[in-house]
Chains A and B, each alone.
Chain A
Amino acid sequence: MTQLNSEILQAPSLEESLWQDACLTIEMIALMVEGGIRQNLPTLLIKAHAGPVREAFMQRLEEVVSRTVFHKIPVGIDEQRLIGGLDLSATLSSGKRVASKGLLAECDNQMLVMPMANIMEDDVIAQVTAAMDNGHVKVEREGMSATDIAQFGLVVFDESDEDEQPISDKMKDRIIFHLDLSTISYRVLKIHLELKFTDISTTAICDSQTLKEICEIVLSFGLTSIRPTQQMVRVAILNARLNGRTKVIQDDVVTAVRLCILNRAKQLPQAPQPPEDMQEDLQDDEPETPDEQQEKPDEEQAEDNDSTSTLDEPLEDLNIESLASQLPDGLLDQLSSSLKLQSKTSSQGRKGKQKYGSKRGKPVASRRGELRSGKSLDIMATLRAATPWQKIRSAENTSNASIHVRPQDFHIRRYKQNTETSTIFLVDASGSTALNRLGEAKGAVESLLAEGYARRDHVGLISFRKREAEVLLSPTRSLVRAKKSLASLAGGGGTPLASGLQLAFIMASEELKKGRATSLVIMTDGSANVALDGTGGREKAMEDALAVSNLFVGAGVSCLVIDVSRLANPKAKALSEKLGANYIPMPFVSSKNLSDAVKASR
């Protein structure tokens, strides 16, 4: 075993080996920036809150990358500052178009730091990643067109808590080093690692066999994008160079897995499975220990042995199985539990529809528009828009006004807010199959709530049976509350559809008033037989139901009618048409189908 491995074996705790990895990353970055940042563009994602560990790490990093300042991208940065735009005052005084550079272009050949990147706006992330892809920022704003070189190193902090949305995959995909310092306590900081690399090689190569293995390893961790593979090759080469080797060996590959792959793994190697099934499977497989990895399919090993016959020794037994045994104790355990968490707060869960409004939320770029009541004028933007016209207008105009502003210049302030969503289930609890139906609806409510945490979903449930409708669960976000109040359900009796719709409308309006995007899911066969006043009679009952449906026209509630009858019932179809709802026949309701349908219709 080589030096690095024996060190890991000696290292008594996981914390210490993680800190060692962090220090090793710094050494690698130091090596990368030797010839200038622009040439190698080190990028680094650190999961850690602000604290002594992170500070110690950054201090060390700054020492090593001493040739540059670290610039911060603040969380609320606006687009103009980020990518640049027209420098109006300079333009006015010089009479020539003068561009002002954005932060990204200013940091060309320097280091950028993004704290709290997990709550950064999507468009900021997109701008940064676009610059990383292109190596420049393209600005097409305010009558100005420019391309500024922007090649920067990047340190991104993921400060999300367990139940919060993690950093976007788009960003993760483009970052080379992935570290998790959140589980390290400051006690390990006393281990100060001296520069142990004295004999550094200038170049190292990665032969095709190793390359192939790296490709397999990255894929086995569920990372399908090609970028992580490229990044892992780079890290393996860096590690080889640090150790004075000219060729990548197994140790380098293992190190590269730790620094570059593990903390963004989507799955653990022994369970290659399509990503769709991942969430469920991960929840089922409670104990995932490194031992289980021994069961890695043999074919992989066989294949390796075949093709390595002509190759050097050290690579012989490099496969995923041996990889696991070389990782520090407990690392895979930690990973598997964090993967479980990830599946709950998947980064795919959208935060709810984003709404642009004129009153509340985070300010976004103002836009040309009419000044009407309830809107506020962005005076600066309006003046900016008016500026270029001043000479023309004063020549045309006889008035002596010193500034000519016309309605066309008006820019209106806009704000963006993430709306919460609210889903109301209206369940037909009449007849014989009612209990089953209610049970499945209950399941759907619970699964929507369980998954909906990151999306801030509220879910409510109304049932109707016998003579009238009843609120079983007023809209809530609490899974616990939902479980409690849905514990006992009753079914059977007549079908007071109209009364159900009426109650649903009242609940939906309240939700709308709270500013939530509301949707109503109606599960019924549509055969109403109890009218609004509680009397029986199919005809009157249906009439009432359709009449109440009118309330929903233009109310802004998106509706979904789920026809639970064995054969599609024209009455349910008619109801859905009246409501302007999506219509889905679902003779065999299951909570999974139901929650999928609700999610799809949103």
Chain B
Amino acid sequence: MASVTYPFAAIVGQEQLKHALLLSAVDASLGGVLALGDRGTGKTTAVRGLAALLPEVEAVKGCRYNCSPDSQKAQCKECTEETELKSHKIAVPVVDLPLGVTEDRVLGALDIEKALVNGEKSFEPGLLADANRGFLYIDEVNLLEDHLVDVLLDVAVSGWNVVEREGLSLKHPARFVLIGSGNPEEGDLRPQLLDRFGLSVDVSTPTEISQRVEVIKRRDAYERNPEEFVQKWKRETSKLRNRIKRAKDLIAEVEVSDQMLGLIAEICIALGTDGLRGELTLIKSARAEAAWCGDLQVSETHILKMAPSALGHRLRRNPLDDSKGMVRVERVLEQVITDRNAA
């Protein structure tokens, strides 16, 4: 509850979740992360910690949508019309979509104050504008009302938020990494929304006593003196931050050979995942993983590591096999690899 966030680097365990979040920071186009799991596993802590970890980005000064000064294509109207853009460094935005949020605050709406006082019709950007070029975090994503989910999906696909209402007519860029967390016991997610997330991870609390003791100890140290705790973890934090930077620089050069593309296709066919999104995500995430490891070639190891989280949530439900998606993916992976080696 302190004003300083708990450092990402100090989170005990939860390797899968941390890894997925880091990769989505390396490649924002991965499609975000869905973290499903038990109560009290530190899902929220991890997401908030990520925000503090990310390297700053260049943004146009005074732009309400955090436009980048460099990419003309993804700029708002004001920025494209401006000839000389001044820019400054900003922290990567991480925007919370709180429970009970209304549609107008998500999409943006008429600025009430200006309308009441001056009778002026002006647009007040919503949370989607705030989240542009950053992260949009939805805790309890399964409790979100359907109509809001529809709105979010629509914007997430196009990267643009289009507002049309009584002469308020504009569109602004809204590219964000969607991060959702929730407890599946409290309600299912619609398949469309599931598919929208690039990576999914199951989180569970560590059952090993020593790890649990460590969680409690660090938590206690943090609560006693947050500033000191953050200071203590400063080195680890900057290590991670540098690694993200390096991976981001490297990712454009990472290559995926035809042979590896073949492997990815085989895995997806063997799993019977619907649509191409799974395959694309697996390619992208394997590339991000390679960059994260400092490799210039995607290898089998990268693919195998990413397949469970890239594909686990895209499997058709099998009523007779209620094991989790991840487990099923791993079973198939084993099969594919043995077959390949045999051939």
Contact = CB atoms under 8 A, between A and B. Distances in A.
B100 A170 contact: no
Nearest to A129: B140
A227 B110 contact: no
Interface in A135-189: 135, 137-145, 151, 168-170, 173
B1 A216 contact: no
A225 B319 contact: no
Given A226-B216, A600-B317, A95 B100 contact: no
Contacts of B101: 140-141
Chain A binding surface, main DSSP class: helix
A573 to B, nearest CB: 16
A219 B212 contact: yes
A141 B100 CA distance: 8
Task: List 7 tightest A-B contacts by C-beta distance, closest first.
Answer: A225-B40, A391-B119, A600-B319, A135-B1, A140-B105, A597-B319, A138-B98
Contact of A593 (B103, B166, B209, B320): B320
Interface in B317-331: 317, 319-320, 322
A216 B208 CA distance: 9
B111 interface: yes
Contacts of B89: none
B149 interface: no
Given A134-B1, A348-B185, A408-B165, A91 B99 contact: no
Interface string A589-602: 00001001100110
A586 B121 CA distance: 63
Contacts of A513: none
Interface residues on B, range: 35 or more
A144 B105 contact: yes
Nearest to A41: B1
A340 to B, nearest CB: 20
B207 A224 contact: yes
A389 B166 contact: yes
19 contacts: A91-B112, A95-B116, A96-B117, A122-B187, A127-B100, A140-B102, A143-B104, A143-B105, A143-B109, A169-B39, A225-B39, A226-B42, A228-B40, A229-B212, A350-B187, A586-B320, A593-B320, A596-B322, A601-B319
Given A143-B109, A389-B110, A215 B116 contact: no
Interface in A515-551: none
Contacts of B116: 91-92, 95-96, 387-388, 390-391
A215 B208 CA distance: 9
Interface residues of A, number: 68
Given A130-B98, A142-B104, A224 B319 contact: no
Interface of A: 79, 82-83, 86, 91-92, 95-97, 122-123, 126-127, 130, 133-135, 137-145, 151, 168-170, 173, 208, 211-212, 215-216, 219, 224-230, 233, 348, 350, 365, 367-368, 387-392, 394-395, 406, 408, 582, 584, 586, 593, 596-597, 600-601
B44 to A, nearest CB: 7
B158 interface: no
Given A596-B322, A597-B320, A173 B40 contact: yes
Interface string B35-61: 000111110100000000000000000
Contacts of A139: 98, 100
Contacts of A151: 1
A171 B195 CA distance: 29
A143 B124 contact: yes
Interface in B266-282: none
B215 interface: yes
Contact of A395 (B39, B119, B205): B119
A227 B322 CA distance: 28
A52 B38 CA distance: 37
Given A225-B40, A392-B119, A408-B165, A211 B217 contact: yes
B202 interface: no
A560 B97 CA distance: 37
Contacts, number: 158
Contacts of B117: 95-96
B105 A133 contact: no
A275 to B, nearest CB: 10
Contact of B319 (A83, A391, A395, A584): A584
B68 interface: no
B99 A96 contact: no
Given A122-B143, A584-B320, A215 B213 contact: yes
A596 B320 contact: yes
A218 B341 CA distance: 46
A126 B138 CA distance: 13
Contacts of A82: 100
B127 interface: yes
A225 B117 CA distance: 51
Nearest to A367: B147
Given A127-B100, A133-B44, A229-B216, A140 B39 contact: no
A283 B147 CA distance: 42
Interface in B251-306: none
Contact of A408 (B44, B113, B166): B166
A211 B216 contact: yes
